[in-house]
Each structure stands twice: as C-alpha cells, then as structure tokens.
Amino acid sequence: MSHTYEYPRPAVTVDCVVFGLDDEDLKVLLIQRGVEPYAGRWALPGGFVRMEESLEDAARRELEEEAGLRTSHLEQLYTFGAPERDPRGRVITVAYFALVKLSAHHLQAATDAREAAWFSVWDTPKLAFDHAEVLATALQRLKGKVRYQPIGFELLPPKFTLSQLQRLYETVLERELDKRNFRKKILAMDLLEELDEVEQDVSHRAARLYRFDHKKYKQLEKAGFNFEL
C-alpha cells in the first residue's frame, strides 16, 4: 500500500538518548544497526513515528521494542532536521531524553535481533547519522538540568546512600564536591527520607540509606520552592 501527497514530505522519526548510572560511570544505551545505511554502526534507539501516535508515545514504543525498557523520566530534547542528516533522504528526528534506573533493567534482547548495550558516555564508539551531536546535546541538557531539578534520583535505585548521590552529581557535572557541604545542602532541602536501614555487603562501615520523597517535592514545588544543588 502506498501513500500519495501533493507536496513532498520529510520522514519523521524519534530517537532516544537513554542515560543510566553504573557504579562510577554514566552510561548511554546504544543499538547496533543491522541494515544500511550505517549497518554495523552503533546508534541511538529510535524509529519512525506512526500516524496515530503522539511523539512521546512513539519514543516509549521504540524503547520498549528495541530494548524492552520502560522509563519514568522522558522528555523532549531537540529536533534535528538538517537536510543531509540521513543519506536516505529528508528525515527529521525528534530527539528524546530518558533516565532509567540501571540496576532495575536487565536489557532484553531486542525483538528485531539487533544488539543493545550500555556504553560509557565518555567513550562511545563512532555513531551513525548525527547521533554524536544528539548525544552531546543530551549530555549538556542533563548537566544543566540536574542542578535545578531533582531528576538525578531517576538514575539511582529507590534506596541509596548519600555517597552514591554525591558520586552521581560528581559524575554528571564532571567536578568534585565537598562531602560536608553536599550533605548539608541536600539534607537542608528536607526532600530525603532517612531510612532505618544501611547498605549491605560492603567491606567497611555501612552507610545509611535514604529515599527521595516525591510527594514532598511536589508540595514544596507548588509553594514556590526551587530545587538547586
């Protein structure tokens, strides 16, 4: 079945930059392409937008199909539409930006047999299309956003230690933070619930676990509170 239009139309895709946090490293999810163009190259997961689904739905569907994962945090990043960005013709891609708790996701085999894997964001293979640019844009956004919105928690397990949280910020922001100042500030916000539990299976003194209180944050947000690292 074919479709005919009076004027030529670009194809529209969505691509997703999915970040996850491994012990001490920020990862991005990539898919190995099976077909031309760029067969064999790694690329961001994505695909064509269907006529009846919203852009965000398309992004979620592609993530589910290509990597079997669901994410709580998904937001639109930027739309890339340079005329020559895809050798097959005019393809405009709406890029999305997602955060997942890496610990909770064992990557499923992609349904279409393409391989999916996590790579350190600081050391990715050469990417297909303009995906390196998309990734760079996403990293920049993450770096900017993490400081004034509490989205970092989406990368951690539900229960975490303050050291884990601090390492997260240090990794994303690419600079070291002072432990005492960091704790003072984050605890002063009163957004963390102190649990009566400590981490397990560590060969040294175990740290206390905390949980991010989403409800309290929503309340404070309404009251004009601004999260700021």
Partner DNA sequence: CGGCATCGTGTCCAGTGGACACGGTGCGGG
Partner DNA sequence: CCCGCACCGTGTCCACTGGACACGATGCCG
Q: What is the 3-state secondary structure (H, E, C) of 48-79?
A: ECCCCCCHHHHHHHHHHHHHCCCCCEEEEEEE
CA dist 215 and 145 (Å) reads 20
Catalytic residues: 115
Q: How far is the CB of 211 from a copy of itself (least distance, A)?
A: 29
Burial of 38 (0-12, 13-18, 19+ CB in 10 A): middle
Q: Which is nearer to a copy of itself, 139 or 162 (CB)?
A: 139
CA dist 14 and 95 (Å) reads 6
Say which entry of a copy of itself, DNA, none residue 94 contacts (CB below 5 to 8 A, set by partner kind).
a copy of itself
Answer yes or no whether residue 136 interacts with a copy of itself by CB under 8 A: no
Is the sign of the CA dihedral 23, 199, 72, 217 positive or negative?
Answer: negative
Output phi, psi for 43, to 5 deg.
Answer: -150, 165
Say which entry of DNA, a copy of itself, none residue 198 contacts (CB below 5 to 8 A, set by partner kind).
DNA
CA dist 81 and 89 (Å) reads 11
Contact positions vs DNA (CB under 7 A) = 161-163, 178-181, 183-185, 198, 202-208, 228
Q: How far is the CB of 50 from a copy of itself (least distance, A)?
A: 9
Interface characters, 52-71, with a copy of itself (x: CB under 8 A): xxxx----------------
Q: Which is nearer to DNA, 9 or 184 (CB)?
A: 184
Say which entry of a copy of itself, DNA, none residue 205 contacts (CB below 5 to 8 A, set by partner kind).
DNA
Contacts with a copy of itself, residue ranges (CB under 8 A): 1-12, 48-49, 51-55, 76, 78-79, 81-83, 90, 92, 94
